[in-house]
Structure 1
Amino acid sequence: MDSKKLRRILEERLQQEDRSFSFDREKDELRIENKDSRKGITVSLPGIVAKWHTKKEQAIDEVVYYVEEALAVMGADHSLSDQEKNIFPVIRSASFPKETSDGVPFFMDEHTAETHIYYALDLGKTYRLIDERLMKKENWTEERIREMARFNLRSLSTNMKKDEVSGNLFYFLNTNDGYDASRILNEKFLKEMAEKTEGEMTVSVPHGDVLIIGDIRNETGYDVLAQMTMSFFTNGHVPVTALSFIYEDGKLDPIFIMAKNRVAQKKNK
């Protein structure tokens, strides 16, 4: 599989009379747009090709599903006031786009040096990121959206699966509801996990659909954590960051995990 073949496959599977395709050779990106509204979505092909080598056709199926759902909600009329219970925060990388394809800024907050907080209106199978145009139309303030999103987040399950590796404990939250990484904003949940942690507590959000909490009790644990987060980061549909965070006194500090059997070092913000 290469970008040229992948592009052809995606164009065939996403072809519709009201859609157009454009390809940026320099960036190796394929853009799919609605011919009338000119709204659309851009997908980077190299990352999908890399995933294809491990996930095969599933990698393509995931992209097709993502694009179809995203295009289906573009241009639709949405109301925040009628769907207050469906507003949630979402964690994205610091490099994630800051505005819509037509230049409207998203409503977002800084979180860490590696992550930012966006806000989404859940639409069932997908969601729409809240932008300044929607806020102005609905006459919603930033603080109102923040409060509602955090309140709704606390209602989501925090059940985790546990695994032990070389004397270290790792907890995984992976419900695939679209907000797994967002649980990093649930302060009560993090404090509860800190109380049961015997070693050093780490928090990782390698992609949007997973949150990993580590109870690191020896140096081997850092090596395991580094390999684990990189694997999730590489294979995630919406990568966030391959770095992990030390959680201490209610604060998150990004860390670099150095060579094998070396203690993790905090990264200055």
Structure 2
Amino acid sequence: MRNGDTPLMDADRFAAYIVRRLSLHDDVIEVRERRGDDLILRVRGNDVTVNLRRLYDAYVKNPDQLDAIMQTIVSAATHDIPARDRRDFASLRERIFPMLKPINLLVFVRERNLPMLVYRPFLADLMITYVVDEARSVAYINEQHLERWGVGEREIHELALRNLRRRTDEQAPYAMIGEGDQRLFIFNSNDGYDATRLLLTDILATWAQHVSGHLVIGIPNRDFLIALGDANPDILRSVAAQIQIDAVQRDYGLTDRLFTLVGGEVREYEMI
């Protein structure tokens, strides 16, 4: 059992669940057939085989990471960007963004001998990856892309943050709800980058000036960020409890850990 009430899926139900979830990506992924433990996909004109047994074993070992496992499948199937030279990089610059992901995604990448993703370790078993935004999906940037484009990780990181800041200003305004110690700040645009806006420390610093106590931030899943002050411990405990639930139950779960801003940098927050 998981979470006290929800039973583990058996292998067949797990496979059916994976197929249903992949249907959300039917613009780039076509499920062709299942052959025993292998799922045959058609991705951008190429056949891709996904071994369900290995994924099911990972799910049984850590059921709470089901959404991370799902995203790993999509990432692995669509990881490659067509071979582009330096001129093509210039055309992609405006579509490169950072994205927070569970760091255990790297295990799957290594096991499948895929090109290593470009990433930076972050906090709470998360990492910063970098993607090219492809309308209804993303393509992860790997080390081979940097070599081909002739750019470094630092340049990609700084470019991705600038693009995220610009996109946030243009398309993803935050909501401010409540007053005093009940004031909340929320990003919930569902553009895939709401949690990653934790990296926009200038926005967090502005929020910190308008809450009671220290700023506390939660990113339970990819499409949600919430921030509040810690002056009222009852309110903070209530929000923290909901973050724990959402990190497990919502799609694209990330972490139930809390964060704060110290000296202009994001740090993990410890409940007292």
Write the distance in 2 (CA, Å) between the matches of 1:41 and 1:190.
41
Write the distance in 1 (CA, Å) between the matches of 2:188 and 2:250.
12
Q: Is the 8 A contact 1:20 1:34 kept in 2?
A: no
Q: Which amino acid aligns with 1:234?
A: V
Which of 69, 85, 108 pairs up with 2:94?
A: 85
Is residue 247 of structure 1 aligned with residue 256 of structure 2? no
Q: Is the 8 A contact 2:124 2:257 kept in 1?
A: no
Which of 13, 32, 40 pairs up with 1:6?
A: 13
Summarize the Cα distance change of 1:121–1:212 in structure 2 as closer, same or farther, 3 Å threshold: same
Hey, which of these two has a bigger chunk of helix by percent?
A: 2
Residue of structure 2 equivalent to 1:146: 157
Residue of structure 2 equivalent to 1:189: 203
Summarize the Cα distance change of 1:137–1:108 in structure 2 as closer, same or farther, 3 Å threshold: same
Q: Which amino acid aligns with 2:135?
A: G
Write the distance in 2 (CA, Å) between the matches of 1:223 and 1:166.
17
Query: Identity over the aligned pairs, expressed in percent?
Result: 17
User: Any stretches of 5+ residues in structure 1 without a counterpart?
Assistant: 24-29, 53-58, 257-263
Which of 135, 140, 144 pairs up with 1:133?
A: 144
Q: Which amino acid aligns with 1:77?
A: P
Q: Is the 8 A contact 2:257 2:268 kept in 1?
A: yes
Q: Which amino acid aligns with 2:10?
A: S
Please state how far the C-alpha of 1:184 moved relative to its aligned partner: 0.9
For the aligned residue pairs, the C-alpha RMSD in angstroms reads 3.8
Q: Is the 8 A contact 1:89 1:149 kept in 2?
A: yes
- Partner deviation per Cα, 1:197-217 (whole Å, 9 max, x = no partner): 222211111111111111222
Q: Is the 8 A contact 1:120 1:128 kept in 2?
A: yes
Which of 117, 137, 140 pairs up with 2:128?
A: 117
Q: Give structure 1 regions of 4+ aligned residues with deviation exceeding 6 angstroms.
A: 14-17, 49-52, 66-69
Which of 68, 82, 97 pairs up with 2:106?
A: 97
* TM-score when normalising by structure 1: 0.72
Please state how far the C-alpha of 1:5 moved relative to its aligned partner: 4.9
Helix, strand or coil at the partner of 2:238:
helix
Please state how far the C-alpha of 1:103 moved relative to its aligned partner: 3.2
Q: Is the 8 A contact 1:204 1:212 kept in 2?
A: yes
Q: Which amino acid aligns with 2:205?
A: K
Summarize the Cα distance change of 1:84–1:12 in structure 2 as closer, same or farther, 3 Å threshold: closer
Helix, strand or coil at the partner of 2:166:
coil
Q: Is the 8 A contact 1:207 1:237 kept in 2?
A: yes
Summarize the Cα distance change of 1:150–1:75 in structure 2 as closer, same or farther, 3 Å threshold: closer
Write the distance in 1 (CA, Å) between the matches of 2:202 and 2:161.
11
Aligned residues: 241
Please state how far the C-alpha of 1:91 moved relative to its aligned partner: 0.9
